[in-house]
Amino acid sequence: MARLAGKVAIITGAASGLGAASARRFVEEGARVVITDLDDAAGQALADELGQNCAYIHDDHMNRAQNEAAVALAVERWGGLDILFNNAGTPFSGAFEGIDDAALDRVVDVNLKGPFRMTQAALPELRKRAADSASGASILFTSSLQALMARPNFTPYTAAKHGVHGLTRGLALELAPENIRVNTLCPAATDTPMLKEFLPGMADDWEEAKSRFRSTIPLGRMPDPIDTANAAVFLASDEARMITGIALPIDGGSTAT
């Protein structure tokens, strides 16, 4: 079933982890995808792996010109843009008192201001597609369970991810009259290269730390990247045509406790 057949997407931060899993799933479901990242070697390798329906471009989403170039590539290669998936982000942990201006700026810039700027760059093309298509266009954000709850020693990250939730809700209302849906994915800590940033102090042994974290999740397992990727496919597809403004937990029941 090609749930994204005929759609063109941009996925930021797609060279590894959740972004790479989502790029694979989007292509499997029929989308043509521009992937962006700062890691050119890994990004290009993934594009080569996925073939003619995937293209890579270097993009620091804080850079407006680079964002515009990514949008222009989607339009040049495939004629428009249906889906923007703002996935790029950065982890952070540390005691509040020790956070300096550079650390604060980085976590807010990468997790909130970058997606904001990328969305501004993509909106003109998303509007064109939404005006020409009954199914409209879609914007997704990768946020975090920290958009819905909080843990100690993650305060700047939590604040930035709460900001993404606010951005989602405001944009969903602002863009609904134009048939553009806006939703956020909120995964629990996932087994990706960034995981160690999210499990500080749980145990000296890494496997023991993961085991302790799994024990806090009602379903008894950690999410894999494919779990977020599958949720992204659904929210980007026409099956979710009446869903906008939500923050979807991908957490094994953690927010139900």
Q: What is the CATH number of the domain that holds 36?
A: 3.40.50.720
Query: Please, are residues 101 and 50 in contact by the beta-carbon 8 Å criterion?
Result: no
Mean per-residue pLDDT for 86-103? Answer: 87
Mean per-residue pLDDT for 118-126? Answer: 98
> Does residue 251 have a pLDDT over 90?
no
Sheet holding 180-187, edge to edge: 54-58, 32-37, 8-11, 83-86, 137-142, 180-187, 247-250
Mean pLDDT of the chain: 91
Instruction: Give me 175's structure tokens.
Output: 């863009």
Compare 192 and 158 and report the one with higher pLDDT.
Answer: 158
Smallest CA-to-CA distance from 244 within 158, 172, 166 is with 172
Has residue 257 been placed in a domain?
no
Has residue 217 been placed in a domain?
no
Range of the domain at 122: 8-187+223-242
Residue with tokens 């998936």: 85
Has residue 69 been placed in a domain?
yes
Mean per-residue pLDDT for 104-128? Answer: 97
Lowest mean pLDDT among 5-14, 17-26, 108-117, 245-254: 245-254
CA–CA distance, 234 with 121 (Å, rounded to integer)? 24
**Predicted structure pTM score:** 0.92
Compare 214 and 169 and report the one with higher pLDDT.
Answer: 169
Pairing, β 8-11 against β 83-86: parallel
Mean per-residue pLDDT for 105-122? Answer: 96
Smallest CA-to-CA distance from 16 within 39, 32, 48 is with 39
Give the long-range contacts of residues 101-107, CB within 8 A, separation 24 or more: 103/156, 104/156, 107/156, 107/157, 107/160
Has residue 44 been placed in a domain?
yes
Query: Please, are residues 247 and 143 in contact by the beta-carbon 8 Å criterion?
Result: yes
Instruction: Compute φ and ψ for 169, nearest 5 degrees.
Output: -65, -45
Half-sphere exposure of 219 (CA within 13 A, CB side): 12
Percent of the chain with pLDDT over 70: 93
Has residue 97 been placed in a domain?
yes
Give the pLDDT band of residue 79 (cuts 50, 70, 90).
very high
Has residue 254 been placed in a domain?
no
Catalytic residue list contains 56: no
Has residue 202 been placed in a domain?
no
Has residue 192 been placed in a domain?
no
Of 85, 92, 154, 157, the active-site residue reads 157
What is the tally of structural domains in the chain? 1
